[in-house]
């Protein structure tokens, strides 16, 4: 890995916001999924939660521009599973929904641990999600339509969260553990080696302060053997 890439990845990781996330409830259109993850990466979100009924659903395609490689997408079988995971992390759940109790999305304190919940393109969020939400919000609309595209709504709310967090100095306080930093450095700096490690269930090697692999002779012997097997297969 070049020194420039090593520095760029570390700068990105220093600003990752572990206590800000998105939860996508049955958002199924690929361009919307990709756009949401791209926006999440842009504002420093490290993890996104997605509820998909289709087993083959995944983030891919040109719209994401590779952002899916830097944002972890956790797949859940049900909205209850996703919400339980988020609640266990002590996050407030903010959902976009037009109702009498909804407030302007800018009135929310996003410096608190926060999960922004976005619903399915046509029908919005489920009753279970609404019941679990701590706050319902609306994005003011001055035109004839009553809602934004789900990916646009997500981006608008994320950038309000970013604005508040920047003012609070939260992007100047690195949050990632060393183990998670090492994982991202290895996968982002050495993707082919990372793929081989996963195939053979080998542990990732450490990335040193110069952005190079720091591994034992035994690790390198296993890796060379793995490469040979991969070629012969």
- 85 annotated to a ligand binding site: no
Q: Rounded to whole angstroms, how far apart are CA atoms 179 and 182?
A: 5
* Beta-bridge partners for 213: 207
- 96 annotated to a ligand binding site: yes
* Beta-bridge partners for 104: 138
Q: Provide the 3-class DSSP secondary structure of residue 65.
A: coil
Q: Provide the 3-class DSSP secondary structure of residue 187.
A: helix
Distances in Å between the Cα of 6 and the Cα atoms of 40, 43, 143, 168, 176 are: 21, 20, 46, 27, 16
- 226 annotated to a ligand binding site: no
Binding site for S-adenosyl-L-methionine: residue ranges? Answer: 96, 139, 148
Binding site: residue ranges? Answer: 96, 139, 148
């Amino acid at each position: 890995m070049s020194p420039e890439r090593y520095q760029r990845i570390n700068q990105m990781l220093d600003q990752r916001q572990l206590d800000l996330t998105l939860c996508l409830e049955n958002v199924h259109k690929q361009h919307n999924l990709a756009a949401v993850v791209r926006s999440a990466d842009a504002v420093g979100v490290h993890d996104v939660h997605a509820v998909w009924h289709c087993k083959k659903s995944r983030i891919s395609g040109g719209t994401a521009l590779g952002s899916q490689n830097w944002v972890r997408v956790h797949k859940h079988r049900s909205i209850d599973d996703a919400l339980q995971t988020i609640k266990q992390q002590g996050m407030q759940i903010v959902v976009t929904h037009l109702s009498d109790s909804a407030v302007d999305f800018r009135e929310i304190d996003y410096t608190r641990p926060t999960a922004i919940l976005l619903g399915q393109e046509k029908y919005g969020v489920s009753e279970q999600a609404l019941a679990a939400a701590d706050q319902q919000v609306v994005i003011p609309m001055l035109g004839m339509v009553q809602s934004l595209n789900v990916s646009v709504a997500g981006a608008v709310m994320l950038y309000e969260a970013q604005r508040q967090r920047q003012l609070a100095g939260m992007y100047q306080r690195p949050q990632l553990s060393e183990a998670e930093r090492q994982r991202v450095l290895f996968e982002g700096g050495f993707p082919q080696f990372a793929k081989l490690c996963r195939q053979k269930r080998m542990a990732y090697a450490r990335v040193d302060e110069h952005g190079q692999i720091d591994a034992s002779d035994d690790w390198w012997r296993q890796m060379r053997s793995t490469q040979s097997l991969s070629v012969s297969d």
